[in-house]
Amino acid sequence: HLETIATAGRPFPMRLSGTGTFRPLSPVVFVQVVAGASACSWLQKRVRDASGPLVRELQFPYHPHVTVAHGISEEAMDRAYEELADYEAAWTCGSFALYEQGPDAVWRKLRDFPFG
């Protein structure tokens, strides 16, 4: 399923800028995706397509972002929000990856899926 999606995809420009938060609904601080969000949405729709094995109902609407703080103290989340407020990054996204969360709550990459 993921290999097929990757083959149909094409590299796209990504740009991150500044911070955002999902608080108070969810204890998350993130870096904002300001370019590449539509390509990320295209990708996630295909990954979760009803014809594939990864279909599931999302708890919240899909919102492309890069999580930098989750489930830590409010004070630490405030600090992350403030310290990364001027953060900027840009690159060409040429692949996506499959991760698995272990029993220790650490996410580990299992495989890369290059586009095209």
Give residue 55's pLDDT.
86
Q: List Cβ neighbours of 112 (8 Å cut-off, separation of 6 or more).
A: 95, 96, 97
Q: Give the pair of three-digit tokens for residue 28.
A: 């998350």
pTM: predicted TM-score of the whole model, two decimal places: 0.87
In terms of residue numbers, what domain contains 86? 2-114
What is the number of structural domains in the chain? 1
CATH value at residue 34 = 3.90.1140.10
- Give the model confidence (pLDDT) of 35-55 as tens digits: 999 999 999 999 998 888 888
- Give the model confidence (pLDDT) of 10-21 as tens digits: 999 999 999 999
Give residue 26's pLDDT.
93
Ramachandran class of 91: left when φ > 0, alpha when ψ lies in -120 to 50, beta otherwise: beta
- Give the model confidence (pLDDT) of 69-104 as tens digits: 998 999 999 999 999 999 999 999 999 999 999 999
Give residue 5's pLDDT.
96
Which of 26, 3, 23, 6 lies closest to 94 in space, CA to CA?
6
| Whether the Cβ atoms of residue 69 and residue 28 lie closer than 8 Å to each other | yes
Phi and psi (nearest 5°) for 115?
Answer: -75, 155
DSSP secondary structure, 26-53, as one string: S-EEEEEEEESHHHHHHHHHHHT-TTST
Q: Give the pair of three-digit tokens for residue 41.
A: 């949405």
